[in-house]
Amino acid sequence: MPARRCVRSRAGRGLACALGLVAGAMSRLNAESNGDSAWQNLREWRFTEATRAFEQTADEPTHRLGLAVALLNLQPRTADRIARAERELSALAEDASASADVVVPANYLLARIAEVHAFTPDPARAAERYAALLAAHPQHPFAQTAAARLATLRLYKLGADPLRTLADLESLGRQLTDAGARRDFHLVLGRSYLFFGGDRGRALEHLQSAMAAGIVAATVRADVLVQIGEVARELDQPAISRQAWSEFVETFPRDPRVDLIRERLAALPEGGRP
Amino acid sequence: MNDWRNRIGLFLVAASFAASVIWILVRPSPGDGAPTDRQEPVVIRFAHVTIHPGIIRAYDDAIRDYEKLNPGVRVVQMPVPIRMWSAWLRTQMVGGNAPDLADMDRGQPDEFLARYFLPLDEWVEQPNPYNVGTELEGRRWRETFINDLRSGRAYRVNLQQVYGIPFTIQTVRLFANANLLREITGSTKVPENYAELIALCHEIEAYSERTGRTILPFAGSVNHTHHYLNRLFGSQTQRLMNEPAVNVHRSFVPIVPEVYMTAYLAYLRGSWSWRDPAVASGLTMMREIAGYTTTGFLQLQRDDSLFQFAQGRALFLPTGSWDADTILAGVPFPMAILPVPLPTTDDGVRGSLTLGPISDLSETPGNAVGVARSSRHPEIAVDFLRYLTSQPVSRRVMQDSNRLSSILGVAPPESIAGFAPRLHGFPLGFHPGLTPEGSEAERVYRSLLHRLVSRGGSVEDFTDAIERVFPAAIMADLRRFNATARETSRVDDALLVAGWVGPEAKEATTSRRLDLMLETQTLRELAAAQAEWATANAQLSSQTPAAKAP
């Protein structure tokens, strides 16, 4: 009975309230810490731990996204897990109350499931989902990353006539405002024009646009400078070659191609407009 | 009285609860944060296969100095014999007992690296603090390496990321027995090109006939001879590699993994075949040199050729800088070290196929070490790698172990000055041995090589045989490449989502990391799509001779 008397006392009520508040705060802290550790596990490829942690906090929409990608990578990969991830993402994608920062990645991941996560990839479905995402959220940077992936699918897996597809894809690039999305889209188109033996003038424009958008990896930057110089040389545009190759020689003096490019640079005819 | 006792009881409960709360909030997480005086030191386990005593000693000295600079850190060296390396490393990784740092270029496939090692791209773009006060101060870590970390193995082209930090660079040269050379030719002048080498081979044959003492031009074994044969072949495909029909992306690919991918796709497009004049010329030269090499060298091992050379029964031993220390220590006569003699541009048909001297910048670096994904202290592991690859420390370690440093401005030890990398010249073309280790193309090439180099073999016989199996082999390799690309992309998706919506989303460094990851993923998936398209639409040159160029 002393305990009941205690709770009835003023001090007891105060203590009970304090304990309740502390317990509540600790539970919130615990949930946050679970969430943080879930993300950390995800970043460190510990998908089993990440799945477990996200399952405990799955009322948070971003954690449901985390749960879906953890499930997609959980070993052994099974059709059931992929289907569960797809259900989670579909629910998020259709949740009218969710913000674009959740809906867009959810839709993007649905396309990725069809393209790379499913045991039997469905390129047509993936392309459909990428196109729908771009149409629904044309300004969202995350949605814009779909453009390069959509272009790759249409060129290499869906189009019977790659050169015609290349021409069709040109308009897609014009709606991209995010620098990274533009860069990736132009890299795909520039390299694809060359791969399929298409219009080298268009290839050159795309490679230049990719460079202007800002290439991150030094190795890719070196390659694109060499490509721009060589395509421009073939098209009799020595000034463009000179500019690109001079930058290459200056920026990458120890690249194995540097003497080859120096030789080609020296052999360029004078003149031309940059 | 009772009330008083109750209050004491309540106070004690509240006090112990508050103490527990405070303890839970302030206690350090396991493995969290920097070590303090009262904590156990952070232990970094560094596993590698370079078990040569000189190298282990050199690392030990460096480790001692590093620990003095970082009192809270202990580095444990774990030398593992190369024969058990792959199985050992896999067991450690899978069993969750991985070393923090480990050799990552001993045949580890891309999928293994992607799963168990950390990409180092973010770190290599920052300066190496241990280069302060040297000519490399302030330069990005990547830019302090002779090849900017561009070459294969350290940089994994299939994954488009840097996974290893190489300590050495490897070059291939010929050791010549200086006494024997003087005895045969009357001078110590070494051949400077392929034509001079063949003339010398004739001279050696005449000497053997004249004196009755059998001297071979080359001591050979499966380990030593491949390096030379590959260079001979690669010299002949230098120009072919730059033809627009092969070099479709116009990037003049300079490094091994990209070279084989380009060559594979060009083969499937019908842009070259094993009967192409450049390829046939390379095979002819390989057969010619094999004829001047120990009979049955494909069945012999490294020690056999070393023994033959050390006994003075062969004039040359082709080998790499990784072998130099052993040879210098074990061979009793004076030696010259010379570059591999290759055709010069004025050497008739052979010369017309070559671009010129070969730059060592496209050579694969050696002793590349990566950071295990499971390391609890990746920052400290990377810090130790930075220390080992700083200019002063690398200079000391390489001097002590007679190897070539991968770091700019570190001159080779005097005894192996002849192996100093040639920084000018042109990239090697593709060659049959350029395929990735463990690939199907490498397996079929090696299994058929005897039909080219044995006494009863011929270029024609080898060509007929390889043409039958090569397409299926490279298609199998491309399928494997695509499977790895897909697996890597799947994990990338998780990392991208974590970066986009996770707690780090608002951090400035996250945005750059995500940007790099997206660019990498885009190009990896593009390369995989191109490989798939080329496989599905293969038009081999032997099937459609007209379809030579796009």
Predicted pLDDT at B545: 38
Q: Note whether B392 and B383 are within 8 A (CB).
A: no
Q: Note whether A65 and A93 are within 8 A (CB).
A: no
Query: Is a pLDDT exceeding 50 seen at residue B29?
Result: no
**A34/B contact by beta carbon, under 8 A:** no
Q: Note whether B259 and B528 are within 8 A (CB).
A: no
pLDDT bucket at B30, cuts 50 / 70 / 90: very low
Lowest mean pLDDT among A37-41, A166-170, B406-410: A37-41
> In chain A, what residues touch B378 (CB-CB under 8 Å)?
none
Q: Note whether B314 and B172 are within 8 A (CB).
A: no
- Nearest CA-CA distance, residue A230 and chain B, Å: 6
**B333/A contact by beta carbon, under 8 A:** no
- In this complex, the residue of B495, B523, B532 whose CB is nearest that of residue A43 is B495
pTM over 0.95: no
- Nearest CA-CA distance, residue B5 and chain A, Å: 10
Superfamily of domain B172-362+435-470: Periplasmic binding protein-like II (3.40.190.10)
Predicted pLDDT at A61: 92
What ipTM was estimated for this complex?
0.89
Q: Say what percent of chain B tops pLDDT 70.
A: 89
3-state secondary structure of A70: helix
Six token digits for residue A46: 């510990």
> In chain B, what residues touch A259 (CB-CB under 8 Å)?
359, 424-426
Residue range B473-484, pLDDT digits in tens: 999 999 988 998
Contact B250 A194 (CB under 8 A): yes
> In chain A, what residues touch B482 (CB-CB under 8 Å)?
none
CA distance B187 to B237: 34
Q: Note whether A49 and A83 are within 8 A (CB).
A: no
Give the start-to-end residue ranges of the domains of chain B: 42-169+364-419, 172-362+435-470
Q: How many CA atoms lie within 13 A of A195 on its CB side?
A: 24
CA distance B309 to B401: 23
Query: Is a pLDDT exceeding 60 seen at residue A19?
Result: no
Q: How far is CA A195 from CA B84, B266, B541, B550, in A?
A: 42, 10, 17, 9
**B254/A contact by beta carbon, under 8 A:** yes
CA distance A258 to A162: 33
Please tell me which residue of chain B has the smallest CA distance to A229. B250
> In chain A, what residues touch B142 (CB-CB under 8 Å)?
218
State in Å, rounded, how far the first CA of chain A is from the last one. 93
Q: What are phi and psi of B431, to 5 degrees?
A: -145, 160
Q: Note whether B528 and A92 are within 8 A (CB).
A: no
Residue range B86-140, pLDDT digits in tens: 899 999 998 888 999 999 877 777 778 878 899 898 899 899 999 999 999 999 9
Contact A194 B249 (CB under 8 A): yes
Q: What angle do CA B472, B473, B474 make, to 5 degrees?
A: 95
Strand ranges across the sheet with B165-169 = B73-79, B42-48, B101-103, B365-371, B165-169
- In this complex, the residue of B10, B142, B532 whose CB is nearest that of residue A12 is B10
Six token digits for residue A227: 């490509």
> In chain B, what residues touch A21 (CB-CB under 8 Å)?
none
> In chain A, what residues touch B6 (CB-CB under 8 Å)?
2, 5-6, 9
Report which listed range, A14-18, B23-27, B68-72, is most confident: B68-72
- Interfacial A residues in 93-152 facing B (CB < 8 Å): 101-102, 105, 109, 112, 116-117, 142, 145, 148-149, 152
**Tokens 């592991």 belong to which residue?**
B381
Q: A61-73 and A47-56 are packed helices; what angle lies between their axes, rounded to 10 degrees?
A: 150
Q: Say what percent of chain B tops pLDDT 90.
A: 64
Selection from B547, B487, B472 nearest residue B521 by Cα: B487
Q: What are phi and psi of B314, to 5 degrees?
A: -140, 145
**A195/B contact by beta carbon, under 8 A:** yes
Selection from B288, B315, B320 nearest residue B302 by Cα: B320
Lowest mean pLDDT among A165-179, B129-143, B155-169, B190-204: B155-169
Q: A146-153 and A123-136 are packed helices; what angle lies between their axes, rounded to 10 degrees?
A: 150
Strands B172-177 and B165-169: unpaired
Number of Cβ within a 10 Å radius of residue A106: 24
Rounded mean pLDDT, B255-279: 88
Selection from B172, B425, B456, B430 nearest residue B282 by Cα: B430
Six token digits for residue B187: 């001078």
Question: Cis peptide leading into A76, omega within 30 of 0?
Answer: yes
**A vs B: CB pairs below 8 A:** 190
Query: Is a pLDDT exceeding 60 seen at residue B68?
Result: yes
pLDDT bucket at A273, cuts 50 / 70 / 90: low
Rounded mean pLDDT, A195-212: 98
Identical fold at B42-169+364-419 and B172-362+435-470?
yes
CA distance B221 to B27: 61
- Interfacial B residues in 465-494 facing A (CB < 8 Å): 486, 489-491, 493-494
CA distance B413 to B411: 7
Predicted pLDDT at B113: 85
Q: How far is CA B97 from CA A214, B75, B93, B278, B374, in A?
A: 40, 16, 6, 50, 9
Six token digits for residue B243: 């033809």
Tell me which of B10 and B231 has the higher pLDDT. B231
Residue range B408-436, pLDDT digits in tens: 999 999 999 999 999 899 988 988 765 66
Six token digits for residue B349: 């048909």
Give the start-to-end residue ranges of the domains of chain A: 14-121
Q: How many CA atoms lie within 13 A of B363 on its CB side?
A: 30
Six token digits for residue B404: 């070539």
3-state secondary structure of A209: helix
CATH 3.20.20.150 fits domain B42-169+364-419: no
Per-residue b/e over B242-277, b at no fewer than 16 CB within 10 Å? bbbbbbbbbbbbbbbbbbbbbbbbbbbbbbbbbbbe
CA distance B10 to B4: 10
Predicted pLDDT at B549: 34
